[in-house]
């Protein structure tokens, strides 16, 4: 029974991470109708930010190192949020109302990000900075008649291509200087984040069952953050604006709500939540470039099951998914009930891998949607029927 209970806690903590990530995804989808396939990679960025913060604080030792995780939480939120805002302003904004193109573009971004963390080195960063600066400067100092010419947009493309080629040359020349420039920072292998001591042990016990600090911490963190998001969306001025734009974009615009700022802020918050989820994941396992892909599918499942814009549904769905994965997927049922009949045993064994537990979840979702096509808690009332 102890085993089941500890697996239950595992499931809840995985569910808590899913809840954070899925909430971010759902807020963005609800507001802008954008399905962000790069959401998982935002989680990965959050995880890598945590790794970097850890490495900065490690040499300091003592109390500074013990508290790094709190700083990493804040940093991972801020970095991914800024990243999300930049992405929204430069790319996603141009694709509004074109869901298929957005889907492809965000998928492309996720691939770029995965390769970026694999191969990022000092040389690469310098090259990208040169490209960005050169591209910007070429646009800026273009003579006015050329800027207004009918072929201006093609010219822009050519200029950016030139800047890109210069950037590539810069990368290859700086990389050839020495290993200091060409060594990848992270590389393709998995990295480990050491949780600080106060998270490692157990935090007391209930009825003889020990409470692992990391699991409890993640569950509490997720609960606090979700409460903060709910407060922000329901009570703050920007929250009312976000909800208004979500429900009626044109009218909100006509009332004087700056819809473009609302979009940026929402995308930033959604991305930031993914970053925090990524920071929490570092406590559960190692950090790798492919971290995002394994979570994004679960996030979508949570949203389908719980319904978009439905907090209670999202909470229940993410916890359910986490628990199914950890109790059935880990095969702990076999150990907890060693004397179950053979026929049942083979069925449980069949599903006792991570991928087979996904299959089980999918079967469940498909069956569930036959009976409740709009999710667990569909919205009711006059405005839905209209």
Partner 1 sequence: MQPQESYPLANEFVLKASGLNVYYGESHILRNVDLQIPKGEMVCLIGRNGVGKTTFLKTIIGLLQQRSGSISYESNELLSQPPYQRARHGIGYVTQGRDIIPFLTVRENLLLGMEALPGGMAKNRHIDSFVYELFPILEQFLNRKGGDLSGGQQQQLAIARALLGKPKLLLLDEPTEGIQPSIILDIERAVQRIIQETGISVLLVEQHLHFVKQSSFYYAMQRGGIVSSGPTSSLSDAVIQEFLTV
112 binds partner 1 (CB under 8 A): no
Measured from the CB atom, the residue of 178 and 258 that comes closer to partner 1 is 258
Separation in Å, CA 88 to CA 65, 103, 299: 34, 13, 20
257 binds partner 1 (CB under 8 A): yes
Contact segment (CB under 8 A) with partner 1 among 122-130, 174-182, 246-254, 278-286 equals 246-254
Identified binder of partner 1 from the candidate list 64, 165, 228, 251, rule CB under 8 A: 251
Number of Cβ atoms within 10 Å of the Cβ of 158 = 11
Contact segment (CB under 8 A) with partner 1 among 99-107, 200-208, 253-261, 278-286 equals 253-261
182 binds partner 1 (CB under 8 A): no
Min. distance of Cβ 156 from partner 1 in angstroms? 20
311 binds partner 1 (CB under 8 A): no
Min. distance of Cβ 236 from partner 1 in angstroms? 9
d(CA 75, CA 291): 19
Contact segment (CB under 8 A) with partner 1 among 30-38, 57-65, 173-181, 235-243 equals 235-243
Count, residues near partner 1 per rule CB under 8 A: 23
Separation in Å, CA 224 to CA 45, 73, 229, 231: 22, 13, 9, 10
Min. distance of Cβ 258 from partner 1 in angstroms? 5
Identified binder of partner 1 from the candidate list 90, 208, 250, 342, rule CB under 8 A: 250
Residue linked to tokens 């909470």: 315
89 binds partner 1 (CB under 8 A): no
Contact segment (CB under 8 A) with partner 1 among 135-143, 239-247, 323-331, 368-376 equals 239-247
d(CA 280, CA 221): 9
Identified binder of partner 1 from the candidate list 59, 61, 208, 256, rule CB under 8 A: 256
258 binds partner 1 (CB under 8 A): yes
If you ran DSSP here, which 8-state letter would residue 207 be given? T
The DSSP bridge pattern shows strands 202-206 and 209-212 to be antiparallel
d(CA 222, CA 76): 15
Backbone angles phi, psi at 95, to 5 degrees: -115, 15
d(CA 352, CA 326): 9
247 binds partner 1 (CB under 8 A): yes
The CA dihedral of 364, 365, 370, 374, to the nearest 10 degrees, is 150
Identified binder of partner 1 from the candidate list 7, 13, 252, 332, rule CB under 8 A: 252
Question: Residues for the chain: how many in total?
Answer: 386
Please report the beta strands in the chain, taking only residues with DSSP state E, as ranges in sequence order. Answer: 202-206, 209-212
Q: Which residues bind partner 1 (CB under 8 A)?
A: 237, 240-241, 243-244, 247-248, 250-260, 379, 381-383, 386
């Amino acid at each position: 029974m102890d085993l089941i209970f500890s697996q239950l806690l595992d499931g809840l903590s995985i569910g808590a991470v899913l809840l954070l990530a899925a909430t971010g995804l759902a807020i963005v989808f609800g507001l802008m109708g954008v399905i962000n396939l790069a959401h998982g990679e935002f989680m990965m960025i959050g995880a890598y930010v945590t790794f970097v913060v850890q490495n900065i604080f490690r040499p300091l030792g003592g109390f500074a190192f013990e508290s790094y995780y709190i700083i990493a939480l804040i940093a991972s939120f801020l970095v991914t949020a800024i990243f999300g805002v930049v992405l929204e302003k430069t790319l996603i904004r141009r694709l509004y109302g074109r869901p298929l193109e957005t889907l492809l573009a965000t998928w492309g971004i996720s691939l770029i990000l995965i390769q970026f963390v694999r191969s990022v080195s000092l040389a690469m960063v310098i090259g990208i900075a040169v490209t960005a600066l050169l591209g910007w400067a070429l646009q800026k100092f273009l003579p006015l008649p050329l800027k207004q010419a009918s072929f201006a947009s093609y010219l822009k493309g050519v200029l950016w291509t030139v800047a890109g080629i210069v950037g590539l040359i810069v990368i290859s020349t700086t990389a050839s200087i020495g290993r200091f420039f060409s060594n990848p920072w992270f590389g393709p292998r998995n990295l480990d984040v050491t949780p600080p001591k106060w998270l490692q042990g157990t935090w007391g016990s209930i009825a003889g069952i020990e409470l692992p600090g990391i699991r409890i911490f993640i569950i509490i963190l997720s609960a606090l953050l979700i409460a903060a998001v709910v407060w922000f969306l329901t009570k703050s001025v920007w929250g009312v604006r976000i909800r208004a734009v979500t429900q009626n974009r044109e009218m909100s615009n006509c009332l004087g709500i700056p819809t473009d700022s609302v979009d940026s802020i929402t995308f930033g918050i959604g991305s930031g939540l993914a970053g925090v989820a990524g920071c929490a994941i570092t406590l559960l396992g190692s950090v790798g470039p492919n971290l995002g892909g394994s979570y994004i599918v679960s996030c979508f499942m949570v949203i389908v099951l719980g319904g978009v814009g439905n907090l209670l549904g999202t909470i229940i769905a993410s916890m359910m998914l986490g628990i199914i994965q950890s109790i059935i997927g880990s095969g702990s049922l076999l150990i907890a009930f060693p004397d179950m009949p053979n026929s049942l045993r083979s069925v449980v064994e069949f599903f006792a891998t991570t991928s087979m537990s996904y299959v089980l979840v999918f079967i469940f979702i498909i069956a569930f949607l036959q009976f409740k096509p709009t999710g667990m808690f569909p919205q009711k009332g006059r405005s839905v029927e209209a």
